[in-house]
Structure 1
Amino acid sequence: MKNNYSRLKWVALIIIGGVLFFLSKAANAATTTPLPLQQQEVSGVVEDQNGLPIPGVTVTVKNTNRGTVTNLDGAYNIIAPANGTLVFSYIGFKTVEIPVDNNEEISIQLEEDVSALGEVKINAGYYNTTERERTGNISRVTAEEIELQPVVSPIQALAGRMAGVEVTSGGSHPGMAPTIKIRGTNSLREEGNYPLYIIDGVPINSTPVESNSLMSSAGIDPLNNLDVSNIESIEVLKDADATAIYGSRGANGVILITTKKGREIGTSVKARFYTGMATVPNRWDLLNTEEYLEIRRAAFENDGVEPTERNAYDLLLWDQDRYTDWQEFLYGGTSETTNANITFSGGNETTSFRFGSSYYTQGTVYPGDYDYRKVTGNLNLNHRSGDNKFNLSLSLNYGVDTNNLVGNVGFNATTAFLPPNAPEIFNNDGSLAWEEWGVAGLDNPLEGYFNTSNTQTNNFISNLTLSYEIFPALRFKTSMGYSYYDSKEMRKQPSQSYNPADETPNNSSHLSAGRKSWILEPQILFEKSFNNLKIDAIVGATFQENIQNQEGFRATGYASEALIGNIAAAESIINARRESAEYKYAALFSRIGINWDRKYYINLTGRRDGSSRFGPNNRFANFGAVGTAWIFTEENFFKEKLPFLSFGKLRGSYGTTGNDQIGDYGYLNAYEATDGPGGLYPTGLANPNYSWEVNKKLEVGLEIGLFEERIRAGFSRYRNRSSNQLVGYPLPEITGFTSVQANLPATVENSGWEFEFSSLNIDSKEFRWQTSLNVSLPKNELVNYPDIDQSSYANTYRVGYPLNISLLFDYTGLDPETGFYTVRDVNEDGSFDYQDRIIIQDLNRELFGGINNSFSFKNFNLQFLWEFVMQEGLQTSFDGGTVGNSRSVALATLAGESVYQKISQSAQARTAYGYAINTSIPVEDASFVRLKTITLNYNLPKAFTRKFGMENWRLFLHGQNLLTFSEYSGMDPERTSSGIGNLRTITAGLEINF
């Protein structure tokens, strides 16, 4: 197989080289064609009413096929008859016709046409549509909204910007994978809920990559290597009409990422640079040394226990006057970030290209020299023949990143809650201090500090699309993609990181992963109008193959620290493992769109999929959907009776999508090697009969536009039911196997309302104000699971409730005699287990959304996005009296002014607290409103920039997570279960166009 891929790469390189050679010849020929007589060259600049250049404006010679588009600076150049007429057209602006009249320069300002904004093209995957004509539910963000955000992954830039799309940060470490949910959780398996990522037509494995570093909890985001500045738009497909054409891969929604393309006519260079810093925006309200010692002494007094050096080393052995703000020590640093980006684009009437490169680096807030670095390169090439019959598009994206966030270090909340009078972490010579900690029988909390970790990933994504018009209504198209992802991680663990008394040897841990994929999709496209009837159809096939491999081991016993990592110098190799899997996928798909008089629309899609992840008995399945729309404002009644209603559309869809996100080879018996030579032990039992997980989606929607669409609003009601749940079902040990892949008779329902609103509040020559709003009210429910009480999920889920729940004890108040927490023993058997957890706590978001405003005044532009979430979260730090700092609520408890149990460090108190954290006591309102992003731009006057040979010079200031309003008492209400969360970031930079 390796040789096959090697040949494939060489063949691809030869094809690409030949294509580039052909295009260079075609471009030269195009630029040397002699000009016809009685023609003249006309050039100029197209601007908006604010004097800003408009790239991409189509400029044509009226009644001819000759045309061009403006470049990034709004400039154009065209050959036209001296007595001809130029037509300037662009989506969102009114079309203008200007006679040439022997003029060699024609520069104009276009007037915005609000009613035309619905004609903006939207990427629907295998075809394009418009906001006006779409029958499915598709949300879209553009480069303008995301390109200035100082984020590693483009998914992070979507938070608060789309209805039904829930994004949660992976954490404060750069490179951690965020969590994205499109209309809720569909599968009982965590890995079964990832959406489908498609970059320029190439599907990408969305599963986070395993890591042994500080990113291990969330994993590494496979999209980290993308250049956010190179993204043109991100579309999210949500309902059945939009996702069914992706069949078994569309159950959890589809995320389409489209990169930027080159501009025709002339050349342009754009450079952007920004730098800034990030800090932790919040702190726990903890006790100082005096308060802490008071609480500790009160605990011994309440318990009637005499302090000893064993149970009270913080009172008897440690300095009573020392104070260390461990939060400031742990995450009080500043994470510096820098980004530099440069692009070069150009072309002529038939060929355009865009080449870009970027560098990104981000530090951490933790003590130590840790950072993340990323370098990317991208190329986009487009060519069409002179008669527009042949089209070619080539997209190449490559990125490499290096992350040295180390593992096995106490950069967590445990360190933040150290006693404020705890000893120093380091000796004067910089080594870890052990003596004072050892006297108390403790290890240094930053044990492992001198460990180093290096994780490097390479990501290559390529796509070549060819199309040819066979007949005026019939076109053949084929898309060919290849992607390669490689991750290598090594962690060095020198003995100086550990207690000398333990005599820990020098070690290293190694982990590598590889993902290779190719895809081929031939298609036939038909588009024809018959008077008022328009039909467009697609018939195609998909052939895809993925190969994944993973390897890990640990090397130990290096003679010296300098040799760590040199495997040949290790004394032994332990815990070695190697995994490899091959996934093959094939499908036939079709779509037919029918449009009558631009008023009535119907969209039919179907797909038959085959996946190697299923056994021979159930390898193929069918998926399909129907979507309809009625633009009722095209009816004469609405035009006459409701003239203020400029646009109105009813739409609906129903269909099925699938899910094959399960492990490979689950239909076969699985074995693993024993520690001894030549042995095998069973791990998975064969089941050739399990079948596809199916998601049935139903949706209705209403979209309206008022007052020439200065106001637009949309409402959606959806219901998705995912059944035939695929899980690895645990088996009793007596079977000899640990699990079997099977379908469970469970049905999960996600339903809800989505609301979207946008308005053009003020639109004058010098001042403009736009607002957009999205609100989502989701509901998740396990609607059916027969005999759940007899299954392995009896203590995890409850029928009639969401999947994301906590099963809690019934809190019955403080014991009047002991002052400790008490919980209800439901079955009165003298023990507390899951039979007593009768309280069900919903941990899902009840409501979420965002509101964005954009203000423009002369050369200034201000944009800011507020994200809001309504939810409940957990706060488990509410005790006091034991070794370790406490929140200030402990002082209120000491004064008898709190609902918490009395100050104590006894075993009885610890047991009571252990039960209490599994009751409703830790539940608190974690709703928040956050200033997610704010950007201030200033475009220098053109009279000034042109003196320096520049077309445009923009200065900008960007802030992220600057303000958060919440009643939640923890660090970050977005991540109530895990520490720090989002960082507060401020960056400043400039952008120059040559």
Structure 2
Amino acid sequence: MKNNFGRFKIIVLISLILLLSVITWKATAVNAPNFLDNQNAQQEVTGVVTGLQGLPIAGVAVFIKGATKGTVTNVNGEFTIRATQGDTLVFTYLGFKPVEVVLEQESTLNIQMEEDVSSLGEVEINAGYYNTTRRESTGNISRVTAEEIELQPVISPLQALQGRMAGVEIIPGGSHPAMAPTIQIRGRNSLREEGNYPLYIIDGVPVNSTPMESNSLLSNTGIDPLNTLNLSNIESIEVLKDADATAIYGSRGANGVVLITTKKGKGGTSGLDLRFYSGTATVPNRIDLLNTEQYLQIRRQAFENDGVEPSPTNAYDLMLWDQERYTDWQDFFFGGISPITDLNVAGSGGNENTSFRLGGSYHKQGTVYPGDFDYQKVTGSFNLNHISENKKLNINLSVNFGVDDNVLAGNVNLETNAFRLPPNAPAVFLENGELNWEEWGEAGLNNPLEGFYNRSDTQSQNLVSGLGVSYHIFRNLSLKGNFGYTSFNSGEVVKRPRRSLNPAYWQNIDHSSSHLEIERKSWIIEPQLVYVKPMGKGNIEGLIGATFQESTYHQMALQGEGYVAESLIGNLTAAEQIINASSENSKYRYAAIFGRLSLDWDKKYFINFTGRRDGSSRFGPDKKWANFGAIGGAWVFSEESPFRNNGFLSFGKLRMSYGTTGSDQIGDYGYLDAYEATPGPGGLYPTQLFNPEYSWEVNKKLEAAIELGFIKNRLNLGLSWYRNRSSNQLVGYVLPSTTGFSSIQANLPATVENKGLEIEISSTNFRSKKFHWQTYFNITLPHNELVSYPGIEQSSYANIYKVGYPLNISLLYQYEGIDPEIGLYQVLDFNEDGRYGYEDRVVTRNFGRKFFGGISNNLSYKNFTLQFLWEFVKQDGTLDFFNAGHLSNQRAATYQALEENSIYQQVSASSQANTAYLRVLSSDFSVVDASFLRLRTLTFGYALPSQLLKRAGIQNGKIFLNGQNLFTLTEYEGMDPELPRGGSRFAGTRTITGGLQLQF
């Protein structure tokens, strides 16, 4: 696997060398002047177009007023055009005020364009099957651009969205690279965890959003399918939230849609972009634990309180281990420095009709844990755009390919041990680097790093390719076709050498390995007809299309045993035997017919109808098809005469939508009978019951919103109220044990509601030729509730959910304080039966977020830029490690247990004390405030002087410094308030990187 990864890097490097050659050749042709007319009186006019900060603007349209042809500026802002004295040259670019210049005798023009704040609403945004603008959109679409995400030193694009979008909640998976984060768009809709994934679409091609399975340390969250994307190659990410935006995707849009658009070449420009950054990551926080003196004092007091005599068996920390030794186990296990390196190269070129972009990247990240572990990623991308001379045929090809390789410890707990090991415990390694078995063996223990030499190597290969073709049949009618193919392969080997285990057992244990191979493939075809027709003051747009998609899944797992040498582990041909082999195959087919009808009148009134009829192979013969649709409307009331030309209110829009989407996020073939082979020959036994009657989940979405702009849109406000109700829940219905089956797939009459308010504010605080300051703020106030669930008391969810409460609840015991007779924690025995079960858990606590959001600022002064984002969350969490006296370290606060009237129970090592502690962990005693305010990103940049760069043949250059998770304000005493359950998990490392960006 390593050899394959190395060969792929060599191929990428060779491709980059060829890329440089192609760009050099293309540049000579692309920069040739465009001629409007071949007249003798014409002269060649050249120049550079810049913004107020002096930076060049690529893609500016330059044409002669009244003529039909023109040119565009290249990546350096340069243009060449032939014109006649007296002609008026027009310069236009989206988001900037147009400039007109009457040509006199000049042959060189330097144009400075001013940003047009009032036109920012006209920036085109991706709505999936069509494009729209902020001003004309009838749906709720959040958007971030390349400038906001490309410099962040993260692996998954989802991590780059944290704090930037209202209604979009992203929680990291954990501390190991490539762990899949959790994304929820406007809350959790399904009772099943696997029923809440949104739809991912990359350049028009849907991608399976379910994390890939793993047997490594990634197994808790799975592997994020977006890991292999190159952040520097992303142009924008749009998130579709309401019914108007998502209903056109039907069943696939129930949990929202994430649209990722990659960068494309620009016609008439050529150039080479190079970006490099390097830095380090560290774990920014520690839990305050007992030191050796405190720990030993508490342990001795525990034996005294219990009336038990310490011995080498029950008190090896007191009798055998060094009483003066102190090890900061947190620093030992995750106190390392993780190096980070990222290199990105991209070249583009072309002319007015054909343009391309070719890019590649390499990313490497080390580990904060002991050991030689790392994560590496290599990506390649290609985009080709072509438009025919008559402008009728348009072709777009997009290919994104990535390989990552993740080497981790083989299922060794590198986190919990950091908090539990006594501070005077022996070293885990000898001076020669081998595991210390002897000192731990004297206490009858295994080394806590048993299995340290196990190694998991997980390599993923991901291909996402799409082809879009459109042809103008008539003036108002176009035929389109979208074609896509994806392939995601994951190969994982976990090697378990014999020396990872206690040598006392080596004689009976062989070298072994476990293997997991997973392959996902999918193709999609979507023919479409698009009709656009101006009608007086109005405009009508129609779309009708179909979807044909097929996805296949293959998984193979097995184990190899009996390798004669450690160097052969993983080579199955060298294994003495192969055991526990299993294979799984499935196929999913999906088809749909969809349509859209959009009407606008006088650019003030907008209405949008969308509909889709979906068919899925995951349902029985009579339940395969379902209908979904939505209606959305918007009224730009600021265009009405009472508001027009208002000096204060510059924009106002009311927006509303209602519709239904659905979900088929269940396993394949769930409606069929299923059988497995018996251990003996020739037999079968049933494993799944036939139920062809269950059908689609349905999510009904309602939204009302207002958007306002003040003082020429220098201040913008958006308020969105939403209510989503998901019903007909697909769950496993519990069956009596007499049936021989634990459950059967079915629909239950449970309804989950998500409602809330989203507030978004953007402002231009200061604007001049030298200084520019913008602020963006968003906050979401969500409410999740299980509205109804008839018969929940008899279901398998009786001890998990509660009608009238959110899905993120825990049912807890009621804490009753310290028992005055025995000095231990006590909780309420609600039914007074002397036992503690779920019927005694009378406290319901919501661990969902009460509100969340972010505030970002962008400042620029001359050549300097500064960007920073604060993320804030209001929530509850839990804490543990307050069992003073037990044979493991505890929080330093538990030292108070030696005092009278302490909130902690009497120090004790008894089983009774441990039982009391385990009960109180499941009570409201452990619930604390886990709210936080975190400086998520901080980026400082400096644009290098153009005069200096041109001497070196460089057009533009920038140096930058980026900080991630630099500072957190919180009262939470756990490791990371982003993962606030228990307090020992963490995800957000503090990362500082610096780099250089050049344009040739």
For structure 2, the 5+ residue unaligned runs are 1-21
Deviations 1:59-111 (A, max 9, x none): 22222221333232222233444543221111221111122335432220001
Q: Deviations over 1:880-907 (max 9, x none)?
A: 1111111111111212353111111111
1:394-440 Cα distance to aligned partner (Å, 9 max, x none): 10101011111122212122343200111111123222111221221
Q: CA deviation at 1:556?
A: 1.1
RMSD (Å), alpha carbons: 1.7
SS at match of 1:106: strand
Query: Counterparts in 2 of 1:836-851, with a 5 A limit?
Result: 836-851=840-855
Which amino acid in structure 2 is aligned with residue 163 of structure 1?
A
Q: Go from structure 1 to structure 2 and tell me whether the alpha carbon gap of 1:880 and 1:71 turns closer, same or farther (over 3 Å shift).
A: farther
What CA deviation, in whole Å up to 9, does each residue of 1:674-718 have, x standing for no partner? Answer: 444444332221110101000000000000000000000000000
Give the partner amino acid of 1:502: Y
Superposition pairs for residues 745-760 of structure 1, below 5 Å? 745-760=749-764
Return the alpha-carbon distance in structure 2 between the equivalents of residues 141 and 487 of structure 1.
Answer: 30
Alignment of 1:568-587 (within 5 A): 568-587=573-592
Question: What residue is the counterpart of 2:999 in the other structure?
Answer: 993
Q: Aligned residue for 1:499?
A: 502
Choose from 658, 667, 670 the match for 2:671. 667
**Structure 1: how far apart are the matches of 2:594 and 2:799?**
41
Q: Residue 785 of structure 2 is aligned with which of 781, 784, 787?
A: 781
Q: Distance in 2 between matches of 1:47 and 1:703?
A: 32
- Return 282-291 or 77-86, whichever deviates more: 77-86
8 Å CA contact 1:45, 1:76 repeated in 2: yes
Gaps of 5+ in 1: 1-20
SS at match of 1:241: helix
**Structure 1 residues 119-156: Cα deviation after superposition (integer angstroms, max 9, x where no partner):** 00000000000011101000000000000000111010
Cα distance in structure 1, aligned partners of 2:684 and 2:88? 81
- Correspondence list, 1:20-35, <5 A: none
The one-letter code sitting in structure 2 at the alignment partner of 1:815 is D
Deviations 1:460-516 (A, max 9, x none): 111111111111111111111111110000011000000122232100010010010
The aligned amino acid for 1:690 is Y
Instruction: State the one-letter code of the partner of 1:459.
Output: N
> Does the residue aligned with 1:568 lie in a helix, a strand or coil?
helix
Q: Tell me which residue corresponds to 2:568.
A: 563
Which of 37, 60, 69 pairs up with 2:39? Answer: 37
Q: What is the rounded CA distance, in whole Å, between the counterparts of 1:687 and 1:188 in structure 2?
A: 20
What amino acid is the match of 2:988?
N
CA separation in 2, counterparts of 1:683 and 1:102?
87
Give the counterpart letter for 1:982 in structure 2: G
Q: Is the 8 A contact 1:683 1:738 kept in 2?
A: no
Contact 1:406/1:491 (<8 A) preserved: no
Match of 1:368 in 2: 371
The alignment status of 1:699 with 2:703, answered yes or no, reads yes
Identity %: 60
Asked if the contact 1:67–1:349 (Cα under 8 Å) also holds between the matched residues in 2, the reply is: no
Letter in 1 for 2:664: D
Matches within 5 A, 1:280-291: 280-291=283-294
Residue equivalent to 1:910: 914
Q: Single out whichever of 346-355 and 735-744 deviates more from structure 2.
A: 735-744
AA of the residue aligned to 2:823: G
- Pairing partner for 1:627 from 627, 632, 649: 632
- For the 8 Å contact 1:415–1:445, the answer to whether it is kept is no
Residues 593-742 of structure 1 mapped to structure 2, 5 A cutoff: 593-639=598-644, 642-742=646-746
The code of the aligned residue for 1:619 comes to: K
The answer as to 2:174 corresponding to 1:171 is yes
Q: Is the CA contact 1:529–1:535 (under 8 Å) kept in the aligned structure 2?
A: yes
Per the alignment, do residues 380 and 81 of structure 1 end up closer, same or farther by CA in structure 2, a change over 3 Å counting? farther
Deviation at 1:673, TM superposition (A): 3.2
Distance between the aligned counterparts of 2:680 and 2:965, measured in 1? 53
Deviations 1:778-828 (A, max 9, x none): 010000001111111111110000011110011111111111111111112
Scaled by the length of structure 2, what TM-score is found? 0.95
CA distance, structure 2, for counterparts of residue 674 and residue 406 of structure 1: 36
Which one is further off, 249-258 or 875-884?
875-884
| Aligned 8 A contact 2:30 2:350 in 1 | no
Aligned to 1:318: 321
**Structure 2 CA distance for partners of 1:874 and 1:674, relative to 1, 3 Å:** farther
CA–CA distance in structure 1, aligned partners of residues 364 and 949 of structure 2: 29
Q: Secondary structure at the match of 2:473?
A: strand
Amino acid corresponding to residue 705 of structure 1 in structure 2? G
- The match for 2:985 is 979
Is the 8 Å Cα contact of residues 470 and 479 (structure 2) preserved in structure 1? yes
Q: Is the aligned partner of 1:153 residue 2:156?
A: yes
Offset, 1:40: 3.9
Structure 1 Cα separation of the partners of residues 80 and 836 of structure 2: 80
Deviation at residue 389 of structure 1 after TM alignment: 0.9
Match of residue 16 from structure 2: none
Please state whether the residue corresponding to 2:364 is helix, strand or coil: strand
Corresponding residue number in structure 1 for 2:874:
870
AA paired with 2:556?
E
Work out whether residues 217 and 410 of structure 2, in 8 Å CA contact, stay in contact via their aligned partners in 1. yes
Query: For residue 249 of structure 2, what is the aligned residue in structure 1?
Result: 246
Letter in 2 for 1:534: N
TM-score (norm 1): 0.96
Task: Give matches, 1:945-964, under 5 Å.
Answer: 945-964=949-968
Match of residue 792 from structure 1: 796
User: 1:532 corresponds to which residue?
Assistant: 537
Cα gap change, 1:190 to 1:803, in 2 (>3 Å) = same
Measured in 2, the distance between the counterparts of 1:366 and 1:29 equals 50
The answer as to 2:274 corresponding to 1:271 is yes
1:405-424 correspondence to structure 2 within 5 Å: 405-424=408-427
The separation in 2 between residues aligned to 1:79 and 1:593, in whole angstroms, is 41
C-alpha displacement of 1:294: 0.7
Alpha-carbon separation, structure 2, partners of 1:911 and 1:628: 59
Does the 8 Å contact 1:77/1:265 carry over to 2? no
Deviation of 1:349 after TM superposition, in Å, equals 1.1
Contact 1:682/1:736 (<8 A) preserved? no
Q: In structure 2, what residue type is equivalent to 1:190?
A: E
**Secondary structure of the structure 1 residue equivalent to 2:654:** strand
Tell me the CA shift for residue 30 of structure 1.
12
SS at match of 2:925: coil
Cα distance in structure 1, aligned partners of 2:719 and 2:682: 63
Q: 1:29 to 1:276 in 2, by over 3 A?
A: closer
Structure 2 residue aligned with 1:509: 514
Q: What's the counterpart of residue 191 of structure 1?
A: 194
Q: 2:806 aligns with which of 796, 802, 805?
A: 802
Does residue 880 of the first structure (1) align with residue 884 of the second (2)?
A: yes
The one-letter amino acid of 1:166's match is: E
1:247 aligned counterpart, secondary structure = helix
